[in-house]
Chains A and B, each alone.
Chain A
Amino acid sequence: QSVLTQPPSVSGAPGQRVTISCTGSSSNIGAGYDVHWYQQFPGTAPKLLIFGNSNRPSGVPDRFSGSKSGTSASLAITGLQAEDEADYYCQSYDSSSWVFGGGTKLTVL
């Protein structure tokens, strides 16, 4: 059971917009801690996609965006592409530790 809750799977057709939610509590996201998002392909390390709730590292397309409100955060992907098919994880902080969502598998139809 992960501290942060994500939907196990989402899907969308090429060109569509999808969102992935990440729900926490008053001890993590709701306490004001930053939320980061990672993209992971099979057999590879997680790649930082969004940091500090809504910031993109250099090289990440602006099709990816993040937001945070209250005890939840969201990752939005617009103009969905086949190459976006991957696992996505949210991460925040809670009592000196990192906490993660269970991961969401994005399928591009």
Chain B
Amino acid sequence: QVQLVESGGGVVQPGRSLRLSCAASGFTFNNYGMHWVRQAPGKGLEWVAVISYDGSNKYYADSVKGRFTISRDNSKNTLYLQMNSLRTEDTAVFYCAKDASSPVWGQGTTVTVSS
């Protein structure tokens, strides 16, 4: 079955970096665009970034543009989110999701930015 498993979350100080990973299985990974979505504590869902099936196109939310980089390794069926210059307001659960007519989401990984 289709499965997405995020990892890489943790506690980090403001200004530091973190890289999230999303391991995909159960579908042909290199046929689909992939998204990152986050949810701050007690808040709603916020779209973060998307990457096309081949990695040639990437788009970002204004709130993370210039600080976050989405990438993928189709040989490893893995999606990444490199997060630099982290801020306290980046504290959230981060989900990866498959862009399909019937979207599939992972279970999320928690990022806490705190001094």
Contact = CB atoms under 8 A, between A and B. Distances in A.
Interface of A: 2, 34, 36, 38, 45-46, 48, 51-52, 55, 57, 89, 91, 95-103
Prevailing SS type, chain A contact patch: strand
Interface of B: 35, 37, 44-47, 50, 57, 59, 61, 95, 101-108
B102 A98 contact: no
Interface pairs A-B: 6 shortest CB-CB: A98-B47, A103-B44, A51-B102, A100-B45, A96-B59, A45-B107
Contacts of A99: 47
A2 to B, nearest CB: 7
Given A48-B104, A97-B59, A98-B37, A103 B45 contact: yes
A37 B105 CA distance: 13
